[in-house]
Amino acid sequence: MKRLGIDIDSETLRLALTHRSYAYENGGIPTNERLEFLGDSILGFSIAEYLYQTFPDLPEGDLAKRRAAIVSTRALAIIARDLGVGEHILLGRGEAQSNGADKASILADTMESLIGATYLVQGMDAARSLVLRFVAPLLQDSRLLGATTDWKTAIQEDVASKKLGEMHYQVTGTGPDHARSYEAVLVIADQAYGVGHGPSKKEAEQEAARNTWLQIHPGEQIPLG
């Protein structure tokens, strides 16, 4: 994991990358869940401190929404995918065959365990630096804005209030069962709007709903949730 820019000894790094499915199949060896717990706390504190110092005029509610957005499963999965973390995660056979290396929850948990491992090996300053280097920039990432918003509900309410017509999702899946990917198109009154992609129907539909909201509200500020 040279892309992290942190020196972590091989034993600690292996632990940080050991998913419980792999541990179960290999005699109940230790998993990365304790490191994940530690990393989650460090992540939350580091981002809260960063937001407090960076946005001195924002009220508590807005700070909380921004923190929720950039410590979310989606945010951490974005970072993990950008870094290629998935290819290094130790997974059990079943999880590996079901494309676990690209599941947002597994990627996010592994990022937290890597933050925890960084803290154990290099200390708090290094762990905080890691968080700020990879997580804080997501405040400006278009893939993440509104990450805590339920876009399917938001667009459904929007379509209803504007009386735009009936809406539904057209979803298609491609690839083998163990590595399925989906494309969703949101159709309103027989007109195609936003398109979304993801490893699950739910994620593809959420992205399609978000992209539809952007089409209907060009130039407007994205809700934070």
Q: Are residues 211 and 122 in the same domain?
A: no
Answer yes or no: 40 catalytic.
yes
Please indicate, yes or no, if residue 224 is contained in any of the structural domains: no
The whole-number pLDDT of residue 129 equals 94
Burial class of residue 68 in the structure, from the number of CB atoms within 10 Å of its CB (0-12 exposed, 13-18 middle, 19+ buried): middle
Residue 59 region, left (φ>0) first, then alpha (ψ -120 to 50), else beta? beta
Among the listed residues 95, 102, 112, 207, the single catalytic one is 112
Enclosing domain of residue 192: 151-216
Answer yes or no: 112 catalytic.
yes
Among the listed residues 40, 95, 102, 205, the single catalytic one is 40
Q: Alpha-carbon distance 57 to 45, whole Å?
A: 19
Q: Are residues 26 and 136 in the same domain?
A: yes
36 a known binding residue? yes
Q: Are residues 136 and 160 in the same domain?
A: no
Please indicate, yes or no, if residue 177 is contained in any of the structural domains: yes
What is the number of other CB atoms lying within 10 angstroms of the CB of residue 147? 24
Q: Are residues 38 and 56 in the same domain?
A: yes
112 a known binding residue? yes
Please indicate, yes or no, if residue 123 is contained in any of the structural domains: yes
The whole-number pLDDT of residue 180 equals 81
Question: 115-126: per-residue pLDDT in tens?
Answer: 999 999 999 999
109 a known binding residue? yes
Please indicate, yes or no, if residue 179 is contained in any of the structural domains: yes
Q: Are residues 93 and 18 in the same domain?
A: yes
- Give me the residues paired with residue 184 across strands: 171, 196
Which residues, in sequence order, are CB contacts of 69 under 8 Å at separation 6+? 75, 138, 139, 144, 145, 146, 147, 148, 224, 225
* Domain count of the fold of the chain: 2
What CATH number is attached to the domain comprising 23? 1.10.1520.10
Asked if residues 110 and 16 have their Cβ atoms less than 8 Å apart, the reply is: yes
The whole-number pLDDT of residue 30 equals 95
The whole-number pLDDT of residue 74 equals 81
Q: Are residues 119 and 41 in the same domain?
A: yes
Q: Are residues 139 and 37 in the same domain?
A: yes
pTM for the model: 0.69
The whole-number pLDDT of residue 224 equals 53
Q: Which residues of the chain have pLDDT under 70?
A: 1, 140-149, 178, 219-225
Helix axes 33-54, 104-122, angle to 10 degrees: 80
The whole-number pLDDT of residue 146 equals 56
